[in-house]
Amino acid sequence: VIQVDTRLGYAHRGILRLMREKTPAEAAGLAARLSASTVANGLAFARAVEAATGIEPPPRAIAIRLVLLDLERVALGLHDLAETLDASGRDPARVRRTREDLLRACEAAFGHRLLMDLVVPGGIARDLSPEAARAVAAPLERLKLPGVAGFDSLRASVATLLTRPRTLPEGALSAAVPITIGEGLGQSEGGRGTHFHWVQVRDGRILQAFARDPAWLAWPRFQSAMEGRMLADLPVLAAGLSVAGVDG
C-alpha cells in the first residue's frame, strides 16, 4: 500500500441538526447513537447538558455511570480483540464467549446488552441492585488478557469493575435539569478514545449541538498506519474504525 485516502460522509444522518429543538432528554437518545460507544457518547452529552445548566448528578448516579462506562470499554475492547484475532488467523472463540457472557450479564443487570439509553442528562435511568452489581462483572473473573502493551487500560477497567460495583453510594438516581440558558462542554473516555459533546440550551431545548468522536483521530491514524503495509493487513488495522462517528 503506497497511500490511503478515505472518502467519508456516506453515513451522514444529520444527527446534530436533528438534536436542535429537542429537549435534552430527547436529544440524549440521538447522541447515544452517534457511534458504537453508546455509553461514552451518552455520558459526554449528559455532562455537556449538566455543564450548560449548572447541575451536578447525585453521587450514586456518578458511580453507576462509571460502572456503565467500564462495562462498555471492556465489551468494546473484547470485541476489537476478537476481530483482531480473527483477522490475523487466530481463534477468537474464547474472547467472543467472554464478551457474550458479559453482554448477557449487562442485560440481566440493566435490561440492555449494549447499555443504551441508561445515561440521561442529570443522572441515570435505571438503578443497579446489589445482586446485579455482584453478577455483572462475574464473567470477567476468569478473563486472561494477552500480556502485551495496549491492553493496560482494558486491564484497568476489568480490575475496577471487579471492585467498584460493590461500593456504590446510596441516594437518588438523577437531578432535575433546570430550564435555563447556557452552553457547556462534556467529555468522556470511551473504549476507542475521548468523546466530546458541546451543547447550547435555551428554554429547555437544544439550540445547537456539536460532537467530536474519537473516530476523527482514528481515520488519519489508520491512513498513515496502512502506508507501506500489505493490503492483507487492512482487516487488523481497521478493527474498531467507526464511519458513523465521523459522519454524524
Partner 1 sequence: MSEVELAAQLNVAAQTRLGRSLALFCAQAADCGGCTLELAALRGPLYRLRQLGLGFVATPLQADVLLVTGAVTRALAEPLHRAWEAMADPKWVIAVGACAIDGGPFRGEYPVLGGVSEVMPLDAVVPGCPPSPTAILGAMTALLAANA
Which residues of the shown chain bind partner 1 in the complex (CB under 8 A)?
A: 9-15, 17-18, 29-30, 33-36, 38, 79, 82-83, 86, 92-93, 96-97, 99-100, 103, 113-114, 116, 242-245, 247
For partner 1, the closer CB: 113 or 205: 113
Nearer to partner 1 (CB atom), residue 113 or residue 202? 113
Taking the least distance from each CB to partner 1, the nearer of 11 and 176 is 11
CA atoms within 13 A on the CB side of 102: 28
Selection from 14, 26, 31, 19 nearest residue 190 by Cα: 31
Kindly state the smallest distance separating residue 125's Cβ from partner 1, in Å. 15
Least separation in angstroms between residue 35's CB and partner 1 is 6
Which residues are within 8 A (CB) of 58 and not within 5 positions of it... i.e. 6 or more apart? 123, 171, 172, 173, 174, 175
- To partner 1, the closest distance from the beta carbon of 117 in angstroms equals 9
Helix (H) or strand (E) holding 7: none
Quick one: 186 or 248, whose CB is closer to partner 1?
Answer: 248
Residue 133 backbone class (left: φ over 0; alpha: ψ -120 to 50; beta: rest): alpha
10's grid cell: 456516506
